[in-house]
Homo-oligomer: A and B are copies of this chain.
Amino acid sequence: MSGNDLVINAAGRAVPIHVNGKDQVPYQGVAAYEPAGTKRAPPIRSCKDYPESGDKRVPDLETALEKCGLSDGMVISSHHHLRNGDQVGLAALQAAATMGAKDLMWFPSASFPCHSPVIDLMDRGVVHHIEGSMNGPLGAYCSAGKMRGLGVLRSHGGRWQAIQDGEVKVDIAVIAAPTADPFGNSDGSHGPSACGSLGFALADSLYADHVIVVTDNLVEFPCIPWQIQGNNVDYVVEVESIGDPSKIVSGTTQITRSPDRLLIAEYVARFIRDAGIMRDGFSFQAGAGGIALAFVQFLKQMMHQAGVKARFVRGGSTQYLVDLLQEGLTDYILDGQTFDLAGVASIASDPRHVATSPFTSYNYHGKGNFASMVDASVLGATEVDLEFNANVNTHSDGILLHGIGGWQNCLFAGCSILAIPSFRDRIPVIVDEVTTMTGPGELIDVVVTERGIAINPKRQDLLDRVSDSDLPIRPIAEIKDEVEKIMGGKPEPARLTDNPVAVIKWVDGTVLDTVWQVED
């Protein structure tokens, strides 16, 4: 990948001006880039070329790929609703391999350790490169410079934006569907592999040239409800199983037991209360990590005590959010993805538990989105610097380990809060400069650690609102110094080459940062 021309963008980061043969726009600032042109226009189809009976079933994935005109260099997409239990994304790529395809671009909404056999497909030339989050072994493969193309990491909203704007043209979308009918109407809330919302596949269903639905729970037309519309689907493939249910959703999600992390969660809840964000009709978003779940429990107690009800909460839905709904502490759950069995049961049966999509929630190239209407978002990070810039993709050793998810998108909340321990494995989390910039500091309002709460000086309003509270509000530099003293200094800098292996896109499709190959 050497020979890339680099430019310094508005965040001061060196980024390539070409990625995988396409010209790039360097990041220009949080809301500076003005998009031009029109959305991607998929081909016009005609009912005359589809069965009048509505029955689009074909015997297997190979047949479906063949009918979709699979050829070398195509973009094949799949989705992470089944998380580490997914059997469809890999099956599609392996079917393509059997058919002799080469140089495919795999465009998953996220990849998981279950997809590590794709490494073999990259080694064999079947897959050229991956654009999408690469967790675990795939990230390490990319970091080692072994992928033929550059990885492109996008937020959930950025993935929609890239498809919608035609930056990525999906040739064949392969959608794993926990329930589907022969016409292709599909849903995720029922069936042996139920996973909740299928929102991540929606963009692909609308904009891809060809769409294949793969299901292990075929029902008679009409599949009600449907989240993917059969009118966008070309072929339906019935298989024995689309995934391993025990890995698709947790039985229950686990709250942290670490005293430090429980303290962080409690600080976050108290901050949201004491800053006056927790008021009737407010809203918040929290993920399914251990700290976030604990935060929800603390906040719930405070809401009960104060007699406050939220208008909506956003997740990653879990038992804890479902409890809020059932106990009358929120009017609605606006669900981005469904993390545990309680979440799946709720979205399948409670009309107040509503499936959303990256379009409604996160797409920056729409006429607004939900993310900026959320009062507070509680997020994680691997690193944060004194300017409040934060990293979620690499650790301080520089190795790509995590995707962006909805993280960048959630920074647009009224108050974005990073809830993070001040160190991990004896490595300080507050640093001089983030190894990778995933989010610009001007959008990060509060950093909550077990050693204190740092408020971004740009948010004087928040500083004022908690000035009388007994919360441990401290300058971020002070917390950093304290941690460095305890840990015996700053983290070792990552040992990186000058060879780009991946780029981090901002929500508007511009290039925010570069991930560099690590030294051997």
Of A38-46, A88-96, A458-466, A487-495, the one touching chain B:
A38-46
Partner among B36, B231, B359, B412 whose Cβ is within 8 Å of the Cβ of A231: B359
Asked if residues A31 and B48 are in contact (CB atoms below 8 Å), the reply is yes
Which 10 pairs show the lowest CB-CB distances between chains A and B?
Answer: A38-B41, A41-B41, A31-B48, A50-B368, A52-B372, A54-B373, A231-B366, A35-B44, A39-B41, A47-B364
- Contact A47 to B373, CB < 8 A, known contacts A38-B42, A312-B222: no
Q: Contact at A360–B229, with CB atoms within 8 Å?
A: yes
Q: Is the CB of A369 within 8 A of B48?
A: no
Most B CB contacts (10 A, CB to CB) among A54, A231, A360, A508 go to A231
Say yes or no: B231 contacts A47, CB within 8 Å: no
**If the complex has contacts A41-B38, A56-B368, are A354 and B47 also in contact, measured as CB distance less than 8 A?**
no
Question: How many angstroms from the CA of A220 to the CA of B369 in the assembled complex?
Answer: 15
Q: List 18 A-B contacts (CB under 8 A).
A: A35-B44, A35-B46, A38-B43, A44-B164, A44-B365, A47-B365, A47-B368, A47-B369, A50-B368, A56-B368, A220-B311, A221-B373, A222-B312, A222-B332, A222-B370, A229-B359, A231-B366, A231-B369
Tell whether A232 pairs with B366 under 8 Å between CB atoms, given A43-B38, A222-B334: yes
Query: B42 touching A39 by the CB < 8 A rule?
Result: yes
Interface string of A220-262 (1 = CB under 8 A from B): 1110110001111110000000000000000000000000000
- Whether A53 contacts B231 by the Cβ 8 Å rule is no
Q: Are B44 and A165 within 8 A (Cβ)?
A: yes
Asked whether B52 lies within 8 Å of A412 as measured between CB atoms, the reply is: yes
Interface of chain A, main secondary structure: loop
Find the B residue at minimum CB distance from A229. B360
Contact of A224 among B46, B164, B351, B363 (CB under 8 A): B351
Q: Does A183 contact B (CB under 8 A)?
A: yes
Q: A352 on the interface (CB 8 Å rule)?
A: yes
Contact of A45 among B47, B56, B352, B367 (CB under 8 A): B367
Please state if B38 and A366 are interface contacts (CB–CB under 8 Å).
Answer: no
What residue of chain B has the Cβ atom nearest to residue A232's Cβ?
B367
Q: Interface 1/0s, chain A 335-374, versus B by CB < 8 A?
A: 0000000000000000110100001100111111110110
How far apart sit A165 and B37, CA to CA, in the bound complex (Å)? 18
User: Does A470 have its Cβ within 8 Å of any Cβ on chain B?
Assistant: no
Told that A47-B364, A52-B368, A231-B366 touch, could you supply 4 new A-B pairs with CB distance under 8 A?
A: A44-B365, A52-B412, A53-B372, A224-B332
A100 is an interface residue with CB less than 8 A from chain B: no
